[in-house]
Amino acid sequence: MDTWMLVAVVAVGVVSTPACIFFILFNFSPHSLIRLSFRIRQYLAGMKIKYVGDENIVFCYGENDVAPRPDQPSIVFVHGFSSSKDQWITCFKGFPKDLHLIAVDLPGHGASSVPPEKVQLDLEYVVETLRLFIDLVGLKDRKVHLIGSSLGGAIVGLFAAAYPDRVEKLTMVCPAMQTPINSEFAIQVKEAIAMGIENITTSHCKLLPTDVPGVKAMLEVCCYSKDLINSSSDQMWKGFLNLRLPKTEFYLRLFKGITSTENLDVLERTAPKITVPTQLVWGTQDQVIHVSGAEVLRSKLPNCQRVDLIENCGHAIDIDRPGAFTKFLLTFIRSDVLMAKEDKKLQ
């Protein structure tokens, strides 16, 4: 009897311990709970966290267990403004296991180091740090497939124009640009420019929340589906906010550095120089970068091979329509293989 009582006590302890941990983290350290959930998702998706750098910067990045292959390019993912490599966890989980995948934390984002104050933060700087990162992870002499979203979409586009010999394919996902129809966020950016960069504060950018209502307002703009907002408690949003707040000063500094009249149409002006095979992906309900930008880029890109518009989808495509997003990306990734098979049939 005593033995079974001991077994029962141990069993209850084993079952209740995770629940107790969850209760403690949820109520007293929700940001730790969110960080833990990301670590679990990274593990389940096969994303291993690594670091690389030089005397000026340290990059954190995620990489899967697949070695680079000579018959297909490595895929390098670049996230958007104030996001991180975790934006691409869904792709790591959903992509075939024969593809070599790398997702970088841009400078000052995720777990990468923050550039010192003396560094001039602008688009050229971010493009050059991406080049440095690709060199440091051993892909200097190999062409890569760049996939970038939002600000990351503009960055990979500018990179492909500057270094066409280093890019096999390019995917721009709702890239940051001036569009024929202004989105709600675009109007806010233009108002910020008009008032003077030096006067910009976090209140002038919906992507820089400083309280829980601000977090919800950001998600309202970024997501078409409101399920995420409605299904999570304010306590969890408090945790999400606490993860972001230490970086808000840097995000504001970066926002000021890249926000200018000249930068609004830089991707459109550069598009004719992007000669590599290119894919555009956009959510039709994007409230950050309006979908009308897709036709502008399609008409100016010399080698635009696909324009994939996703219905019922906002700016956060990986949240709104992750399955459709992965499907469209893989269709473009595998297009060369499919074309080779068709050519073989015709021979």
- 275 and 132 assigned to the same domain: yes
What pLDDT is stored for residue 263 in this prediction? 87
Distance between CA atoms of residues 210 and 10, nearest Å: 44
How does pLDDT run across 301-337, given as a tens digit for each residue?
A: 999 999 999 999 999 999 999 999 999 999 999 987 5
Predicted pLDDT of residue 28: 42
DSSP 44-100: HHT-EEEEEE-SS-EEEEEE-SPPPBTTB-EEEEE--TT--GGGGHHHHHHS-TTS-
- pLDDT of 341: 43
CA dihedral over 234, 239, 245, 248, signed as positive or negative: negative
Same domain, 17 and 92: no
Q: pLDDT for 239-251, tens place per residue?
A: 999 999 999 999 9
Please say whether the beta carbons of 325 and 310 come within 8 A: yes
Considering the domain architecture, whether residues 11 and 124 belong to the same structural domain is answered as no
Same domain, residue pair 160 and 203: yes
Which residue of the set 105, 315, 318, 320 is catalytic?
315
185 in the same domain as 80 = yes
**Are 110 and 215 found together in one domain?**
yes
315 is catalytic: yes
Do 12 and 140 belong to one domain?
A: no
CATH number of residue 243's parent domain: 3.40.50.1820
Selected catalytic residue, list 286, 308, 318, 320:
286
Assess whether 335 carries a catalytic annotation.
no
Domain that holds residue 37: 1-45
Residues lower than pLDDT 70 in the chain: 1-30, 337-347
Q: How far apart are CA 302 and CA 297, in angstroms?
A: 10
Residue 26 shares a structural domain with residue 125: no
Q: Are residues 149 and 163 in the same domain?
A: yes
Residue showing tokens 């897709």: 294
Instruction: State residue 228's pLDDT score.
Output: 81
**Same domain assignment for residues 64 and 102:** yes
| pLDDT at res. 18 | 60
Strand segments, DSSP code E, in the chain are 48-53, 58-63, 74-78, 101-104, 144-149, 167-173, 278-283, 304-310
* 5 and 146 both lie in a single domain: no
Q: What local confidence, expressed as pLDDT, does residue 5 receive? A: 42
Cα dist from 267 to 154, 175, 181, whole Å = 6, 8, 16
Same domain (yes/no): 33, 58: no
Strands 58-63 and 304-310: unpaired
Identify the pLDDT of residue 2.
52
How many domains does one find in the chain? 2
List the catalytic residue out of 150, 290, 318, 320.
Answer: 150
Burial grade of 168 (CB within 10 A; 0-12, 13-18, 19 or more): middle
Indicate if 100 belongs to the active site. no
